[in-house]
A and B are shown apart, each in its own frame.
Chain A
Amino acid sequence: MNQGASERRRGVEYTDRISVDARIMWLGLFVLGIGFGVVVVERGLPWWFALLTSTFILAGSLEFLLAGLVTLHSSLISIAVITFLVNSRHIFYSLSFPMESHEGPLAKVYSAFAMVDEAYALVALGQGERLRGRKLLKVQLGLHGSWAFGATVGALVGNLIPKSISGFGFVLTALFVVLSIDSAIESKEVSTGLIAVLVAIVSFAITPSSMLIVAIFTFFVLLLAKDALRARARTRVVGEDNDT
């Protein structure tokens, strides 16, 4: 992080080096993937269920849910609806994901497919300036590979792994905490951060299961309102200046 900050200060826009944050994300997803693979097998599902979901869906929380849904033989319609509800937050990610930095349709399609929370968080930290183009693709491939590899390992040999390893999934929690501290320091806007914290806590209290989409949508609406108020205040000041 220090490194990233000094790079930005020197005005260096692009290095090919994959940042420490990204590498920790890979490790975190690998560990979490093992946990997911274990859950899949414990639920009586075949090992390849872990491989295929982690390869073709690539959405951690939804995959945990899906493993539960299929053991209950939920209908395909309800699976579609739940997937839509859980992942609709990604609509908001598109507002600030540097898709235009990719060359060629294949890169764009893959980058959209692999737009997981972790990739978004890494992009968000640099406000889309540092992590983009080929480097972003590499980071996404790494996230995808770590998750899929971890899930498959977990499903195949999960019962051989000591249980305490699941505690290491905390690296992802810690990483998100660190990233939000860094983005708070970077943006210097304390009020925006406070709004996000409050919205997240209230959303969790009201509806733990759909907290993410409720919180992100509410935050979006509040930001719109805040922006509109500020714009109005600004035009008023400009208008008064013109009068005098």
Chain B
Amino acid sequence: MTHNSDTYYLEAIAVASVVTFLLRATPFLVKNFVLRRKLILGVRASMPYGIVTILAIYAIASTKVSSVQIAIGEILAVVITIVLHFWRRNVLLSIFGGTILYVFLVNLPHGFYRL
């Protein structure tokens, strides 16, 4: 089978793009109908809180851990981020404190690993 790679790439991108857009846009068309149901109203208020928490754990869990060094680096950096944030409640300090520690730990000699 001859395969024109460029055309195939473009088709793949188009398919993924259309499906993603439909998933994001369609619910808004049926939203009014669904939202009138009282049960959903209560849930609606708590969804963001839960989803952000789930995304945080996803971000932590989905890092490709290819060595113990990276695992330890990530755990320590997450802990420091949490501690800094409870201590000062300053977004910049928490995020860059955690990130700098992470970059430092995973780049220590003995492990120039790619993430």
Interaction A to B: yes
The answer, yes or no, to whether A139 is at the interface (CB within 8 Å) is no
| B68 interface contact, C-beta 8 A | no
Contacting residues, chain A, for B48 (C-beta < 8 A): 96, 120, 123-125, 127-128, 183
Q: Is the CB of B21 within 8 A of A94?
A: no
**Which residue of B6, B10, B63, B102 has the most chain A CB atoms within 10 A of its CB atom?**
B102
Q: Which residues of A contact B28 (CB under 8 A)?
A: 94, 97, 99, 108, 112
Cα of A215 to Cα of B26 in the assembled complex, Å: 21
Stretch at the interface among A7-15, A148-156, A193-201: A193-201
Q: How far is the CA of A164 from the CA of B102 in the complex (A)?
A: 10
| Chain A 47-61 interface 0/1 with B at a Cβ cutoff of 8 Å (1 = within) | 001001100111101
Point out which of A49, A61, A74 has the most chain B C-beta atoms below 10 A from its C-beta.
Answer: A49
Residues on B with C-beta less than 8 A from A172 are 59
Q: B113 → chain A, closest Cβ, in Å?
A: 9
Q: How far is the CB of A92 from chain B (nearest CB, A)?
A: 6
Contact B3 A73 (CB under 8 A): yes
Whole-angstrom CA separation of A79 from B19 in the bound complex = 10
Bound Cα distance A192, B39 (Å)? 16
Which of A166, A170, A187, A208 is B49 in contact with, Cβ under 8 Å?
Answer: A187
Contacts of A211 in B (CB 8 A): 58, 61-62
Chain A minimum-CB-distance residue to B112:
A163
* Contacting residue for B47 out of A46, A164, A220, CB 8 A: A220
Residue in B closest to A35 when the chains form the complex, CB atoms: B115
Docked pose: A117 CA to B48 CA in angstroms: 11
CB-contact partner of A2 in B57, B89, B96, B115, under 8 A: B89
Whether A163 touches B114, Cβ cut-off 8 Å, given contacts A88-B23, A219-B51, is: yes
Residues of A within 8 A of B11 (CB): 76
Can you pick out 9 interface pairs between chain A and chain B where the beta carbons lie within 8 Å of each other?
A: A24-B92, A58-B20, A83-B20, A87-B19, A171-B95, A176-B55, A181-B86, A195-B50, A196-B50
- Report A's interface with B, CB cutoff 8 A: 1-2, 20-21, 24, 35, 45-46, 49, 52-53, 56-59, 61-63, 66, 69-70, 73-74, 76, 79-80, 83-84, 87-97, 99, 108-109, 112-113, 115, 117, 120-121, 123-125, 127-128, 163-164, 166-181, 183-184, 186-187, 189, 192-193, 195-197, 199-201, 204, 208, 211-212, 215-216, 219-220, 223-224, 227-228, 230-231
